Amino acid sequence: MESVLLSFLAGVFGANALPHFVKGITKEPFPTPFGSSPVINVVAGWAMFILAGFLGYGAHIGQYPAATLPSIALGVLLMGLFHARIGAFGKRT
């Protein structure tokens, strides 16, 4: 059960890292709790990628692929739907 939760969180953080990192490297503002500057977004995206990696490592994905891979996919899907529907801080684009 712990592996499923950790892999789900890895998917959520990995998916959330992507828009922050991309907006940062394209020098576009995107809201974070710490501001919306491109530099803050690059750092926030990078940190979430690192966190997702550690969570995935802790989930022992290789030992439990049948349980963890769908859990990662669900986390990615839910975060993608969040950004597509509600967006960061409830702002619709």
**Each residue of 6-25: pLDDT tens digit?**
999 999 999 999 999 999 99
Give the model's pLDDT for residue 44: 97
Q: What is residue 48's three-state secondary structure?
A: helix
Helices (H), the chain: 2-25, 38-58, 65-85
Q: How many domains does the chain have?
A: 1
- pTM for the model stands at 0.90
Confidence of residue 91 (pLDDT cuts 50, 70, 90): low
Phi, psi (deg, nearest 5) at residue 31: -70, 135
What are the tens digits of pLDDT across the range 40-86?
999 999 999 999 999 999 999 999 999 999 999 999 999 999 988 88
Q: Provide the b/e sequence for 53-68 (b: ≥16 CB within 10 Å).
A: eebbeebebeeeeeeb
Q: 50 is in which domain, residue-wise? A: 2-90
